[in-house]
Amino acid sequence: MTNAGLLALLSHWRRNPMQLFTLVVGLSLATALWSGVQAVNTEARASYDAAAETLGEGMFAQIIARTGTIPQEDFIALRRAGWLVSPVVEGRLDGIRLIGIDALTSPGGLTPVGLSDGKLTVDMITRGILFATQETLERLGEVDVRKFPSSDVAPAVILTDVGTAQILLGLDGQISRLIVAPQQPIIQPPLEVIAPNFELIPPQSGSDVGRLTDSFHLNLTAFGLLSFVVGIFIVHGAIGLAFEQRRPVIRTLRALGFPLVHLIALIAFELVGISVLAGMIGVGLGYFIAASLLPDVAATISGLYGQSISGTLQFRPEWWVSSLLIAVGGTALAAAASLWRLACMPLLASARPHAWAMQARRSRLIQAVFAMFLLVAASLLGWLGSGLAAGFAMLAALLIGAALALPVILDGLLTAGARHAKSIIEEWFWADTRQQLPGLSLALMALLIAMATNVGVSTMVSSFRLTFTGFLDQRLASEFYVYADDAQQAASLRAYLELRVDKVLPIQSANQDIRGLPSEIYGPIAHATYRDNWLFLDAAPDAWALIEAGQAAAINEQLARRAGIAIGDEITIAGHPFKVLGIYGDYGNPIGQVIITEAKFAALFPEISPLSFGVRIDPSRVTALSLDLGTHFGLTEVNMINQAGIKAFSLAVFDRTFTVTGALNILTLAVAGFAILMSLLTLATMRIPQLAPIWAQGISRARLGRLEIVRAALLALLTTALALPLGLSLAWTLLAVVNVEAFGWRLPLFLFPLDYARLAVFAVVAAVIAALWPATKLARTRPADLLKVFANER
């Protein structure tokens, strides 16, 4: 009986292969985008975890010396006083970060790689081994220590024993920092008593880089989810249709005595089978999406946050299992209503498929109310909410609310259109379009969401780019930049330049934590270049004068936002208090920045002398100057860069940052386009009974076909018109809420009418192309088939 029932159910797909295709492809695409994004996130997270585990950054308290490195005797003294601390020696080897740890005393999980090999442990301690990823080891030059590839080490990091690191870095008897074990003995003298020069840094929580990158991954996840929702819309449509069309089969089966529970179980089994198949295809596609996105994501992450992630993708079960589950779960969600209706359906209910369209009309009111509720919630969130979660909740409410409102609004617009109809055929056209709306609304909702996202994201990226370009023009005011190799060369270079150019602006910086956030302190000299070009977003009166007098500092926007510093607040730099009098925009910089006067900088950081200089000079003399410096100081291209060079480089970094967003954007639009095509194709076959009477009254098939195309174009155009305001609200949310949380800067919103017009044309063309096939099919329907409608009328 089960076999017969299953065969009867499956025969539906044999008769409607297009529906099966829609279902499988829709689900695969949805899963593909979702799993692609998940794969990227999982890979990045694995890189962060490896970094956190091997470096112990953030997880444990640390001890550093105020004066630089910690003498090894002091480490022993701390241990012998009962402080459970573990030594870390770090530095750069061939430009790669080298970290030496002591596997015996480092807190749990901090050991390098899987040391299950006993011989390896012994060799690491007695002879020294360098652990790193294959990629990193290949970058490393010749060293006299054994190299051991391991994928568990963070990218761009070499891990080894303390002793080996001391030798390789020339830090004999010195320790860079000490990691404090989370569990300490109950008796312990205070740190100040044993080592007064040491500073205990509590474990980093709050605003560390991990949390910053979280916001980027939340962005990606939101995109993945969006694509998945669009895909599920397609699946929902396909499943709903299949259920409606199978009503006669189900009625017949039940009339023959097939138990309802058994039938539901069979359908569920069939759906799980289809969703697992589609999920697997989706995971495969997702792998390729992720593999092609990952290098750009890696570039973005290191550009925006200074974090390294691996550029190669591994097939980790975390994401493919979850993607398969979400494919099955999404299908279950899309099928739940249909299954429920089936369970409640009276045994001999009408088998007419048109109940579907009627049902849609009845639920329209509920849908409108729900849409209103979501839109009100979105505006409330935008008004009262704060934080990244509220921002994304607002985006979700806005998009879903607008999608739900779409059929209601379109219905209203079409009714209004019908009122202006001048002929019977026009009147029929409007009425028929309205009648088709329920069948097309899911696809149109998908299109609306995809287009609004496109408008929103492209507006955000373009506004960002415009602001960024303007910012570069201001910030890179010097015509020419030159970098010395050492302090001695820098001094003679400066003296040489002073005599030949309008002004030499030394660029010097020190790294410091400001309120626990990693920041750079800059000490520029007082000059009009800064006063004219570093525009404050917010400042006290006479800010520049006071900063140049040495009493105050200016900070960048991201530091102000992350640390909650306002104008007039005090910050401490190297133990010295400064009043913050200005906040300036600093786009594209991952960390905080502070500007103090050159004199103060020299007093606080006497060991730092400037190695790079900005040069103010007549732009026409730049080439001559670089040639001159080349002959006099042997400086090469690497040491000299003109303004145009830096700008081009910065913009290239910027553009790469948003490649990922652009790619996801186009994929989402493609899914929506596919949804439209499939909906039109499905409707075309169902519409023969409705079109036959019109044809019988003398309208040619060719004209009917043309009207179909016009209809598709009209609906696409109306949807685009609605997508525009929605997309702009989306852009506003991204710029004013999400960006502030994710990157720490707020950007002005610019409008790009030409881009929107192009998108509208694209949407209409896509809809026309999608309608072309069903319309041609319609125009070629044999008159006999149209006549058959009257013969078989139910």
Residues that bind other proteins in the complex, under the rule CB under 8 A: 72-73, 76, 79-82, 84, 102-105, 108-109, 111-112, 114-116, 118, 121-122, 125-128, 161-164, 166, 183-188
How far apart are CB 109 and other proteins at their closest, in Å? Answer: 7
DSSP-derived pairing of the beta strands 592-595 and 517-522: parallel
When the beta carbons of 161 and 548 are compared against other proteins, the nearer one is 161
How far apart are CB 53 and other proteins at their closest, in Å? Answer: 10
When the beta carbons of 116 and 631 are compared against other proteins, the nearer one is 116
39 and 284 Cβ atoms separated by less than 8 Å = no
How far apart are CB 119 and other proteins at their closest, in Å? Answer: 10
Which secondary structure element, helix H or strand E, spans residue 445, and what is its range? Answer: helix 424-475
90 and 97 Cβ atoms separated by less than 8 Å = yes
How far apart are CB 315 and other proteins at their closest, in Å? Answer: 23
What's the count of helices (H) and strands (E) in the chain, helices before strands?
A: 28, 21
Q: Which of 95, 100, 94, 91 is CA-nearest to residue 54? A: 100
How far apart are CB 162 and other proteins at their closest, in Å? Answer: 6
Count of CB atoms within 10 A of residue 751's CB? 12
How far apart are CB 122 and other proteins at their closest, in Å? Answer: 4
Secondary structure letter of residue 735 according to DSSP: I
Q: Which amino acid is at 17?
A: P
338 token code pair:
């249909």
Secondary structure letter of residue 107 according to DSSP: P
173 token code pair:
């008897």
403 token code pair:
């999608």
Secondary structure letter of residue 203 according to DSSP: P
How far apart are CB 112 and other proteins at their closest, in Å? Answer: 8
Max intra-chain CA distance, the chain:
103
How far apart are CB 325 and other proteins at their closest, in Å? Answer: 29
Q: Which amino acid is at 75?
A: F
Strand order in the sheet with 640-642: 503-507, 612-616, 480-483, 640-642
Q: Which amino acid is at 780?
A: R
When the beta carbons of 114 and 564 are compared against other proteins, the nearer one is 114
When the beta carbons of 166 and 219 are compared against other proteins, the nearer one is 166
How far apart are CB 44 and other proteins at their closest, in Å? Answer: 24
Q: How far apart are CA 78 and CA 75, in angstroms?
A: 5
85 token code pair:
């601390």
Q: How far apart are CA 211 and CA 305, in angstroms?
A: 10
290 and 318 Cβ atoms separated by less than 8 Å = no
How far apart are CB 131 and other proteins at their closest, in Å? Answer: 12
The CA-atom distances, in angstroms, between 333 and each of 107, 233, 341, 575, 676 are 45, 10, 14, 59, 21
38 token code pair:
């998940």
Cα–chain center distance at 525 = 39
How far apart are CB 164 and other proteins at their closest, in Å? Answer: 8
Secondary structure letter of residue 690 according to DSSP: H
When the beta carbons of 162 and 226 are compared against other proteins, the nearer one is 162
Query: Residues, the chain, total?
Result: 794
How far apart are CB 188 and other proteins at their closest, in Å? Answer: 8
Helix 783-791 vs helix 688-696: crossing angle, to nearest 10: 100
How far apart are CB 68 and other proteins at their closest, in Å? Answer: 20
How far apart are CB 152 and other proteins at their closest, in Å? Answer: 11
User: Position of tokens 């626990």?
Assistant: 516
Q: How far apart are CA 256 and CA 262, in angstroms?
A: 13
Q: How far apart are CA 512 and CA 609, in angstroms?
A: 16
Exposure letters 635-668 (e unless 16+ CB within 10 A, then b): beeebbbbbeeeeeebeeebeebbebbebbbebb
454 token code pair:
């496109």
The CA-atom distances, in angstroms, between 577 and each of 83, 199, 536, 571, 604 are 32, 18, 21, 6, 11
Q: How far apart are CA 58 and CA 151, in angstroms?
A: 22
User: Position of tokens 């996105």?
Assistant: 293
How far apart are CB 181 and other proteins at their closest, in Å? Answer: 10
